[in-house]
């Protein structure tokens, strides 16, 4: 790795550490997602990607006819038309588990991705246009909610920005959570920007660990901790992954910090046992 590449990575990591200190509503969701992606390709200029995001917002704004800017249905339709039809974005149904689908740079390059990655485009456009929009905490399939006054619409970025009715959501829930599952208020709860980024990264981490690449899993967890330094559950995961890779000092520090956070009894016992193993190996 060249000195220029190392310097680039350092600047990117500094941006993520600053993000970790921000209030949730201050986070520039799409920009941070690009920075996270750039850590794997620090030599690539992010300016064209940022310009593309700006172009998307411009095109969506231009789609709203005069007098219709206060119509939430028109907003949803403009988002779908521009992102899916004009720019060709779509959910990747053929290679869903490809980690590229959670890398916003590659999502933009390939015009396809996971639900949460595509949702970040929708949410970024809405932010730029001053529209009310949020991700919602639907299990296993990231959705967004557009709002305007008393009106609310749930949109599915993975399926071309289609509007989802209550019946659609019930069917989708049963598909991902089992036939006995029923809609609950928690499924409509908004999810913050930081948690959206964690959910994006979690897709990469899960696939790395499933492939037996613990070092990559630990690397992704470290990125999560940069943007969510107060998340105790990440400390335990970091400790477990670093222990497996032999990075015992990092593992010990993470587990000690996790135990200091006051976990529930079951988690405390597991963490204490792992920390004992780590300390024995260090000695």
Give the model's pLDDT for residue 3. 62
Closest by CA to 80, choosing from 159, 9, 19, 161, is 161
Rounded mean pLDDT, 52-63? 96
Evaluate if residue 147 carries a pLDDT over 80. Answer: yes
Q: Average of pLDDT values for 63-88?
A: 90
Q: Are 169 and 154 in contact (CB under 8 A)?
A: yes
Do 59 and 164 lie in one domain? The reply is yes
Q: Does residue 42 lie within any of the structural domains?
A: yes
Q: Does the pLDDT of residue 1 top 80, yes or no? A: no
| Residue 206: inside a domain | no
Q: State how far the Cα of 274 lies from the Cα of 280, in Å rounded to an integer.
A: 10
Whether 144 maps to a domain, the answer reads yes
Task: Note whether 167 and 226 are same-domain residues.
Answer: no
Distance CA 249, CA 239 (A): 9
Residue 60 lies in a domain: yes
Pair 13, 102 in one domain: yes
Residue where a domain terminates, one of 146, 165, 193: 193
Mean pLDDT of the region 61-89: 90
Q: Which of 161, 193, 225 finishes a domain?
A: 193
Q: How confident is the model at residue 21 (pLDDT cuts 50, 70, 90)?
A: very high
The confidence score (pLDDT) of residue 4 equals 61
Domain count, the chain: 2
Task: CATH number of the domain at 243, please.
Answer: 1.25.40.10
- 191-242 pLDDT per residue, tens: 999 999 999 999 999 999 999 999 999 999 999 999 999 899 899 999 999 9
- Does some domain include residue 187? yes
Same domain, 55 and 177: yes
Boundaries of domain holding 244: 194-201+212-282
Cβ atoms of 39 and 13 within 8 Å: the answer is yes
pLDDT band per the 50, 70, 90 thresholds, residue 128 = very high
- Indicate whether 38 and 164 sit together in one domain: yes
pTM: 0.93
pLDDT band at 106 (very low <50, low <70, confident <90, very high): very high
Helices 29-38, 193-210: axis angle to 10 degrees equals 30
């Amino acid at each position: 790795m060249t000195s220029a590449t190392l310097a680039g990575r350092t600047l990117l990591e500094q941006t993520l550490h600053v993000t970790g200190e921000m209030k949730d509503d201050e986070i520039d969701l799409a920009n941070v997602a690009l920075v996270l992606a750039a850590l794997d390709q620090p030599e690539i200029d992010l300016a064209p990607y940022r310009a593309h995001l700006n172009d998307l917002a411009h095109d969506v704004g231009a789609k709203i006819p005069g007098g219709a800017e206060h119509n939430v249905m028109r907003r949803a339709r403009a988002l779908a038309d521009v992102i899916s039809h004009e720019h060709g974005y779509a959910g990747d149904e053929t290679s869903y588990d490809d980690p590229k689908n959670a890398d916003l740079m590659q999502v933009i390059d390939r015009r396809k991705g996971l639900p949460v990655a595509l949702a970040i485009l929708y949410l970024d456009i809405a932010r730029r246009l001053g529209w009310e929009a949020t991700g919602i905490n639907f299990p296993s399939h990231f959705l967004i909610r557009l709002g305007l006054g008393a009106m609310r619409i749930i949109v599915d970025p993975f399926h071309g920005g289609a509007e989802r009715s209550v019946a659609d959501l019930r069917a989708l829930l049963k598909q991902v959570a089992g036939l006995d599952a029923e809609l609950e208020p928690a499924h409509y709860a908004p999810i913050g920007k930081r948690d959206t980024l964690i959910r994006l990264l979690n897709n990469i981490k899960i696939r790395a660990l499933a492939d037996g690449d613990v070092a990559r899993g630990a690397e992704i967890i470290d990125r999560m901790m940069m943007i969510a330094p107060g998340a105790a559950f990440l400390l335990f995961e970091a400790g477990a992954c670093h222990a497996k890779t032999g990075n015992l000092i990092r593992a010990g520090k993470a587990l000690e910090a996790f135990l200091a956070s006051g976990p529930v009894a079951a988690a405390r016992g597991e963490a204490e046992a792992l920390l004992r193993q780590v300390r024995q190996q260090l000695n």
